Structure 1
């Protein structure tokens, strides 16, 4: 699990998928498949948890199926759906000294995503709206799943079903890990965007001041020349 003692590396990389078409770096069919994968395994784990008592009295078999679905969901959300649907990715690596480094990557927005609405064609506008809708679905699924598992955990805890509370704890840990990772990616992207905006403002202000400085110097020289009684050259 992520630990505050680990060194965190915030990076906005260009090695993620890029593209310049109106559909972006991924085709609509790829995004639809990513949405299906984003909800498939987490929904399967929840359905098995809810309905397993109707089909079997065993604890081991449902536990194995739920654990498999949770593991597949963790991998798909971490490595596929987040990268395709919202352009975010988190990962970790261990250096030669044995120190764990965490990476929170974000894909740069495409020109279509950052362009003004009035400058887009109808197809480009529809493609951008579709990507925004899929992005909302990603975040809804990411947040809703641990919230539901939290309710199940409280219900099993108050009903003294300790074994099922343990299952909910595993599900919560795996879901919250992805939530934490993607929130860190989003925050690093926001910080980078704010930094870029500040740089643009600073450069603009510096350019304005540099343009005003020669003008003020010229006026000062003209005033000095006029005060000395020298003729002014038109």
Structure 2
């Protein structure tokens, strides 16, 4: 990885909040929202119950890894784009150099492409909570000397942690860009307040 290409949108744009408020409570992509949670929750459930369901470790391991792989692909390529307007990927240029690209969808003036608040909560709740659960499983397997399960739980941590890291980069971008956006937003708010005060004084 030689360089990062980051495309950010303003996280502080509140100009069209009123026009978007009625749309925020609706789940506009129910299938994507379902599968965003289905694969990752299923992998956790299978991990917890596999010893009760079957005595075959190989069958459990293959099932969990398949669910984790499906989750990684679905979240990276489908649900992130539909539910919150974010996506990330790796591309190789003509010189053979690898670039990580983190994109955030631009918000239109009418707010027609913004994600709903309900979908956003579902997305980030699943994205953050499940990797934390796999980290707990990793420490549990390590301290209880269940060495055969370490490969499985590490796979869960890596795959879901990669998506979490990628989408956090998409959301906030670099610290420099985030600081710049905050400064611009505060400057606009100060200017509006100053103009409003002057208008009240003049009247």
TM-score by length of 2: 0.76
- For residue 4 of structure 2, the aligned residue among 8, 13, 16 is 8
Match of 1:118 in 2: none
- For residue 168 of structure 2, the aligned residue among 173, 183, 195 is 183
Distance 1:102 1:11 in 2: 11
What whole-Å deviation, never above 9, does each CA across 1:91-146 have from its counterpart, x for those lacking one?
11011222110111111123354xxxxxxxxxx9xxx8x81121011101000000
What whole-Å deviation, never above 9, does each CA across 1:170-201 have from its counterpart, x for those lacking one?
11000110011000001129937944963995
Distance 2:2 2:70 in 1: 26
Shift of 1:11: 2.3
Match of 2:14 in 1: none
Q: Given the superposition, is the C-alpha separation of residues 152 and 199 from structure 1 closer, same or farther in structure 2, using an over 3 Å criterion?
A: closer
Match of 2:159 in 1: 174
8 Å contact 2:141–2:147 — kept in the other structure? yes
Q: CA RMSD in A?
A: 3.3
What whole-Å deviation, never above 9, does each CA across 1:206-229 have from its counterpart, x for those lacking one?
xxxxxxxxxxxxxxxxxxxxxxxx
Distance 1:35 1:95 in 2: 33
Q: Given the superposition, is the C-alpha separation of residues 84 and 189 from structure 1 closer, same or farther in structure 2, using an over 3 Å criterion?
A: farther
Distance 1:105 1:162 in 2: 38
Distance 1:137 1:51 in 2: 24
Distance 2:80 2:20 in 1: 20
8 Å contact 1:42–1:73 — kept in the other structure? yes
| SS of the residue 1:69 aligns to | helix
| SS of the residue 1:137 aligns to | helix
Alignment of 1:93-172 (within 5 A): 93-113=91-111, 131-172=116-157
Query: In terms of Rg, which structure is larger?
Result: 1
Q: Given the superposition, is the C-alpha separation of residues 29 and 132 from structure 1 closer, same or farther in structure 2, using an over 3 Å criterion?
A: closer
| SS of the residue 1:111 aligns to | coil
Distance 1:158 1:181 in 2: 29
The size of the alignment, in residue pairs, is 178
| SS of the residue 2:117 aligns to | helix
- Runs of 4 or more, structure 1, over 6 Å off, are 21-24
Shift of 1:58: 1.4
Match of 2:201 in 1: none
